[in-house]
Each structure stands twice: as C-alpha cells, then as structure tokens.
C-alpha cells in the first residue's frame, strides 16, 4: 500500500512515472522546477511593500522555534485552566483563590480576572493563542512543508561514489561492496540484483547509467507518505479549528425538560450560539414538511441493576408536528392542538435522537409527581390523586443529592384530625419524598415516618383512618438539544488527523548505490563491473534503517554468490 501511495504521489505531482526509470530526463525536470521556484520568488520580492510585509509575517510565523513556543504556551495555559477553578463568581477569585491567604488571593485573583482566566478556554488570551497557532500551522505548510514536497518529489541520483560513502558519517549506513568479478554476465546484472533486493523490501527503485559512461547509479526510496503526512497533520488541524469555529458561531443549543405525556415546541428551547446561527439554519423545522416540530415524551424510565444502581436511562420520544385541524375539533370542544407523529425513538445515554439537523440527548431527569390512591376513611371510596413534587435539592441541610418532595393534604371523612396536630381543621398532611423512581418515603403529620413503598406494590400505609397507596411516580426527562453545522468539518479534520498522524510514523528512507564500470579490452569499449557502493539515509527510524541496510547488503552478497555458483 505504501508503495502505491508513494508512486501515486509521484505520478500525480510532477508526472514522473517509473517508465522514465534510468533516463536522464529526471535531471531536466529538476532544473525546471527549480527555475519556476526562483522566478516566483523574484517576482514577489519586487512586489508592493504590503506583500513584503506579508511575506515577513509568514516567515516569522513559520519559524519552528516560534511555533514550539506557541504550543508550549498553549499547553501551559491549558494546565493553568485546570488548576484555577473555572466559571466562579468574581468574589471567589479575589477572596478565596488561595485558602488562608487573603492578600495573595486578592492580588492573584485580580490578575486571574484581568486576563479572563476565570473562563480560560474562552478567554481572549487563549483564543488568541489558538488563532496564532493556526496561523503558524498554515504559514509553516506554505513556507516550509510545501517546498519540501516539491524537493522530495524529484528523485535524485548521486553520481559521486564518495558522496554515497559519506552518508555513513551522519550515523547512517554506507558500505562499499567490492566484488572481484561481480555479475559475470556483462553490464547490468549487479544493479538488477540490488534493485530487486531493495524492491523486495518495498522500495521504489530507479537505475540509470551515468552521463559520462563510467558506471551506473541507483536511487531508491520508500515511505514517501512519512514525508508528506506532517503537512496533512497541519491541514487537518486547521480543519478542526475551522469546524470548531463554525460550531461556536453557527450552532444552536438548548435544554428541554418535558413531563411524561407532554409535548414541547423545539423552537422555543433553542438558543443561537451567535447571531450567525439565526441567519444560517433553523434546526427546529422538519426537512420534509417545513413545519416546526415538537418533542413529546411518551415515557421516561430508569433501569436498575439488581443492587439498585442505575443501569440506564430511557426516554421514549416522538417528534410531532401540527396536523391539519380536524373538522370535528370544534364540535368535540377539544382545546388541544392536533398533532401527528412523524418520528419516534427510544433514546438513552449514548444513544440520542437525530431528526434532520436536530439532535436530542438524554442528559437529565426529575420526578415530577406521584400518583396515589387515597382512602379518606373506612367508609370512603378510594380516589386517585396526583401530587406534584418539587426538587428539594440543597434545601435540606446536610442531606445531599437529588431529592423531590410533595405534600398531600387529606380531609378526613369524619372531619377530625386523629392526632390533633396535623392541619388546623381536620386536614392531615402527608409528605411524600422520592430520591429516584424506585421507591418513595411517606411521612405523616409532625414528620412522623410512615414507611417506604415501591410504586405499584399495592401495599398501603396510613395514619388513623386515612390510607395511601402509591400507584406510580411520574417523571420528566431532561434533554439537551443541539444543532451543530460544524460537526461534518470537524469530523473530516478528525479523520484526516488520525490518518496523517499514523502515516507520520512511517520513516522516509532513501538508498543510493553506485556501480563503477571498468573499461576492458583494447579499444576500451567493453566494460565490466567494478565496485559497488551502497548507502542510505532515513528521517525517523535510524536504527531500524541501519538493520535494514545491513540486511540488504547481506542479501546482495548472497545473490552475488548464487549467480557466481550457477555461472561456474
């Protein structure tokens, strides 16, 4: 795959194909590329002063040490953002930033507020650094990486054997393989062996005779993707930043709390991320009918593990829209606006509802009330009532966590309060509390604990003659609404980023070989093969490459031996 990729780049780029292998045309090509580059450069130099300034800025941004500084600073700011509590009230920073040091807190807190580090990741400093880094990424691609691609696309032969040998000085590998009578079958056989050994290891090889006719040279490379991938990494990151900008400006968000059986208009829950959002899209509109849609909660439920822990939260949701009014609506006196269901889904955490551009996530829930069956006295008929419950979270002192409660006043049928303490005029107040949908606690007058019941268990509890039966808990589901047009761009960036980072691991290796031809015979026109010099370099995996070249040399040796044996 890697091989094809490398070849593909080569083909697509400057139309050098492997058929030209060994022909001197490659040399001409390099000159051409060099020429245009230089021409372009000169032209820009003579341009307006604004262009000169632009180029200077680009060059500054593309500087490696500058970019390293930006990355490091961004990392530092991010770390600071996790150390300083975010999104607190200003008083928190000035008084309690550092516990027990009011003066220090005052100084540092004011600094934090000054730089906006109380909301680090949306502070001008942070966003500015992100923008600067993005500019650097683009400048580097334009200024450094792209010219490097152009250079890498030329495949270059080294005609001087000494230069091949010198490759070893940079900690890489070079060998001179001296064979007393290599090949033995005339010109070309040795280079073919070298070429096939390298080819077996995934190299693209190019062989050509030297211009002066004193030998043959080979150039081989592999892992060109490793050379190009870093540009891809930079471009993908720019894409991600672009997508994130679209998300923050053109998206919509909102939260919706729906009671079971209720229907809520989506449009009213949505808030634009910025003024651009309202101008671009309307995610609450059905794509098919163009009507505004509603979300209806058919049922909310929680699944529990046997030990009582939450296994999953489910909301059975319907997307509805206005239906044509029924002709009988006025006759029946229906005050309800008629709607029809267009889509239905059972959502859970990790499994949202998607409808057009709108996505609804399961994020919250609440107990909205409890349905109980009350029997006010032995003679009375049981009647079902719904007791609305409100959240008591944080209102009960040391008791933490989520808790809901509601009060049910019951008028006893004998008109007398049993304890004489409940209500004033024969009313008994029941307090009903719930932590979740599993069971409810019931208290009688004076906070007297009556018991805990599972909804639907049918077991009664009561005070005096009044009995209660808990039928069911009614709940509401909290949904997070989102419409994010930046996601496709971000995801594209993500996909490319993953691909190119993996490809960046590939090491770009190049191997050069030089085979001398020695003149033979009286006229000096016949030639036989002389010394073979082979060497190479790579940009990443140096030790692995050394091992590879060692093995290549061994293989070449072996091939030479084999051919000598057979020719004998």
Of residues 95 through 134, those in contact with another protein by CB under 8 A are 119-123, 126-127
Cβ–Cβ < 8 Å for 503, 232: yes
Angstrom distance (rounded) from CA 407 to CA 396:
16
**Smallest gap from residue 137 Cβ to another protein (A):** 11
Q: Six-digit token pair at 120?
A: 């680090």
Nearer to another protein (CB atom), residue 174 or residue 376: 174
Angstrom distance (rounded) from CA 193 to CA 529:
13
Interface residues for another protein in 483-522 (CB under 8 A)? 484, 487, 490-491, 494, 497-498, 501-502, 504-505
Q: Pick from 12, 100, 290, 308: which binds another protein (CB under 8 A)? A: 308
Q: Pick from 52, 57, 75, 329: which binds another protein (CB under 8 A)? A: 75
Q: Which stretch binds another protein (CB under 8 A): 79-87, 187-195, 217-225, 368-376?
A: 79-87
Interface residues for another protein in 520-539 (CB under 8 A)? 535
Torsion of CA 147, 151, 152, 156, to 10 degrees: 180
Nearer to another protein (CB atom), residue 43 or residue 271: 271
Nearer to another protein (CB atom), residue 182 or residue 209: 182
- Give the list of residues 6+ apart from residue 274 with CB closer than 8 angstroms, or none: 248, 249, 250
Total interface residues for another protein by CB under 8 A: 119
Angstrom distance (rounded) from CA 202 to CA 508:
12
**Smallest gap from residue 192 Cβ to another protein (A):** 17
Considering the rule CB under 8 A, would residue 333 count as an interface residue with another protein?
no
Angstrom distance (rounded) from CA 147 to CA 139:
12
Considering the rule CB under 8 A, would residue 205 count as an interface residue with another protein?
no
**Smallest gap from residue 196 Cβ to another protein (A):** 16
Considering the rule CB under 8 A, would residue 88 count as an interface residue with another protein?
no
- Give the list of residues 6+ apart from residue 186 with CB closer than 8 angstroms, or none: 528
Note the Cα 226 to chain centre separation in Å. 22
Nearer to another protein (CB atom), residue 323 or residue 562: 562
Cβ–Cβ < 8 Å for 250, 280: yes
Q: Pick from 26, 158, 239, 403: which binds another protein (CB under 8 A)? A: 403
Nearer to another protein (CB atom), residue 20 or residue 73: 73
Interface residues for another protein in 159-178 (CB under 8 A)? 165-166, 168-169, 171, 174-178
Q: Pick from 46, 48, 87, 330: which binds another protein (CB under 8 A)? A: 87
Cβ–Cβ < 8 Å for 37, 150: yes
Angstrom distance (rounded) from CA 509 to CA 54:
35
**Smallest gap from residue 206 Cβ to another protein (A):** 23
Of 328, 271, 256, whose CA–CA distance to 480 is shortest? 256
- Give the list of residues 6+ apart from residue 442 with CB closer than 8 angstroms, or none: 430, 431, 432, 450, 451, 452, 453, 461, 468, 470
Angstrom distance (rounded) from CA 29 to CA 378:
105
Q: Pick from 210, 345, 402, 528: which binds another protein (CB under 8 A)? A: 402
Q: Pick from 27, 94, 478, 517: which binds another protein (CB under 8 A)? A: 478
Interface residues for another protein in 350-379 (CB under 8 A)? 350, 352, 359, 361, 363-365
Considering the rule CB under 8 A, would residue 9 count as an interface residue with another protein?
no
Of 514, 512, 510, whose CA–CA distance to 221 is shortest? 510
Cβ–Cβ < 8 Å for 440, 455: yes
Q: How many CB atoms lie within 10 A of CB 337?
A: 12
**Smallest gap from residue 478 Cβ to another protein (A):** 7
Angstrom distance (rounded) from CA 434 to CA 266:
29
**Smallest gap from residue 372 Cβ to another protein (A):** 17
C-alpha distances out from residue 484 to 127, 244, 305, Å: 20, 10, 35
**Smallest gap from residue 362 Cβ to another protein (A):** 8
Binding mask 412-441 for another protein (x = CB under 8 A): -------------------x-xxxx-xx-x
Interface residues for another protein in 542-561 (CB under 8 A)? 542-544, 546-547, 549-550, 553-554, 557-558, 560-561
**Smallest gap from residue 286 Cβ to another protein (A):** 20
Considering the rule CB under 8 A, would residue 407 count as an interface residue with another protein?
no
- Decide: helix, strand or coil at residue 563: helix
Nearer to another protein (CB atom), residue 73 or residue 380: 73
Considering the rule CB under 8 A, would residue 299 count as an interface residue with another protein?
no
Interface residues for another protein in 440-469 (CB under 8 A)? 441, 443, 447-449, 452, 454
Considering the rule CB under 8 A, would residue 540 count as an interface residue with another protein?
yes
Q: Six-digit token pair at 255?
A: 């939260």
**Smallest gap from residue 480 Cβ to another protein (A):** 5
Q: Which stretch binds another protein (CB under 8 A): 14-22, 85-93, 377-385, 461-469?
A: 85-93
Q: Six-digit token pair at 122?
A: 């949306």
Considering the rule CB under 8 A, would residue 282 count as an interface residue with another protein?
no
Nearer to another protein (CB atom), residue 417 or residue 436: 436
Nearer to another protein (CB atom), residue 306 or residue 327: 306
**Which H helix or E strand runs over 405?**
strand 404-411
Nearer to another protein (CB atom), residue 275 or residue 328: 275
Binding mask 220-249 for another protein (x = CB under 8 A): ------------------------x---xx
Rg (CA), the chain: 39
Note the Cα 5 to chain centre separation in Å. 26
Considering the rule CB under 8 A, would residue 327 count as an interface residue with another protein?
no
Angstrom distance (rounded) from CA 456 to CA 313:
20
C-alpha distances out from residue 542 to 70, 346, 546, 562, Å: 29, 55, 6, 30
Beta bridge partners of 10: none
**Smallest gap from residue 60 Cβ to another protein (A):** 15
Torsion sign across C-alpha atoms 149, 150, 153, 158: negative
């Amino acid at each position: 795959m890697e091989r094809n990729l490398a070849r593909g780049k080569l083909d697509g780029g400057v139309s050098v194909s492997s058929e030209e292998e060994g022909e001197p045309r490659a040399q001409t090509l390099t000159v051409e590329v060099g020429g245009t580059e230089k021409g372009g450069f000169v032209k820009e130099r003579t341009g307006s002063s604004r262009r000169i300034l632009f180029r200077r800025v680009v060059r500054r941004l593309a500087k490696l040490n500058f970019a390293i500084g930006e990355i490091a600073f961004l990392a530092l700011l991010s770390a600071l953002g996790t150390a300083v509590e975010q999104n607190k009230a200003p008083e928190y920073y000035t008084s309690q930033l550092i516990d027990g040091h009011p003066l220090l807190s005052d100084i540092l807190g004011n600094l934090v507020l000054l730089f906006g580090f109380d909301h680090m990741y949306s502070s001008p400093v942070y966003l500015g650094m992100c923008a600067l880094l993005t500019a650097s990424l683009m400048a580097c691609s334009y200024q450094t990486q792209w010219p490097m691609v152009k250079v890498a696309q030329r495949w270059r032969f080294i005609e001087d054997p000494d230069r091949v040998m010198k490759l070893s000085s940079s900690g890489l590998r070079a060998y001179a393989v001296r064979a007393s009578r290599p090949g033995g079958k005339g010109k070309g056989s040795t280079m073919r062996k070298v070429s096939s050994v390298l080819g077996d290891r995934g190299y693209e090889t190019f062989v050509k005779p030297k211009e002066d006719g004193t030998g043959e040279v080979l150039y081989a490379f592999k892992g060109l993707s490793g050379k190009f991938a870093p540009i891809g990494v930079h471009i993908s990151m720019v894409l991600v930043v672009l997508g994130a900008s679209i998300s923050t400006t053109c998206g919509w968000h909102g939260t919706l709390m729906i009671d079971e059986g209720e229907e809520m208009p989506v449009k009213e829950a949505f808030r634009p991320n910025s003024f651009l959002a309202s101008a671009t899209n309307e995610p609450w509109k059905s794509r098919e009918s163009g009507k505004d849609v509603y979300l209806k909660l058919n049922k909310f439920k929680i699944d529990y593990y046997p030990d009582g822990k939450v296994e999953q939260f489910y909301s059975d949701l319907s997307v509805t829209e206005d239906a044509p009014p029924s002709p009988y609506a006025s006759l029946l006196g229906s005050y309800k606006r008629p709607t029809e269901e267009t889509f239905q889904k059972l959502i859970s955490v990790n499994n949202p509802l998607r409808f057009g551009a709108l996505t609804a996530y399961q994020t919250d829930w609440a107990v909205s009330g409890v349905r109980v069956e009350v029997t006010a006295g032995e003679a009375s008929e049981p009647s079902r009532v719904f007791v609305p419950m409100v959240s008591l979270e944080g209102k009960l002192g040391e008791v933490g966590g989520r808790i809901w409660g509601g009060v049910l006043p019951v008028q006893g049928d004998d008109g007398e309060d049993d304890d004489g303490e409940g209500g004033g005029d024969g009313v008994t107040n029941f307090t009903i509390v719930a932590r979740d949908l599993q069971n409810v606690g019931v208290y009688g007058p004076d906070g007297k604990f009556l018991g805990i019941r599972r909804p639907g268990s049918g077991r009664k509890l009561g005070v005096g003659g009044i009995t209660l039966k808990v039928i069911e808990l009614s709940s509401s589901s909290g949904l997070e609404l989102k419409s994010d047009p930046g996601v496709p761009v971000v995801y594209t960036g993500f996909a490319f980023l993953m691909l190119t980072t993996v490809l960046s691991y590939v090491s770009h290796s190049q191997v050069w070989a030089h085979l001398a031809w020695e003149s033979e015979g009286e006229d000096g026109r016949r030639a036989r093969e002389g010394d073979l010099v082979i060497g190479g370099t790579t940009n990443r995996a140096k030790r692995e490459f050394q091992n590879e070249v060692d093995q290549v040399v061994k293989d070449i040796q072996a091939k030479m031996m084999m051919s000598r044996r057979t020719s004998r």
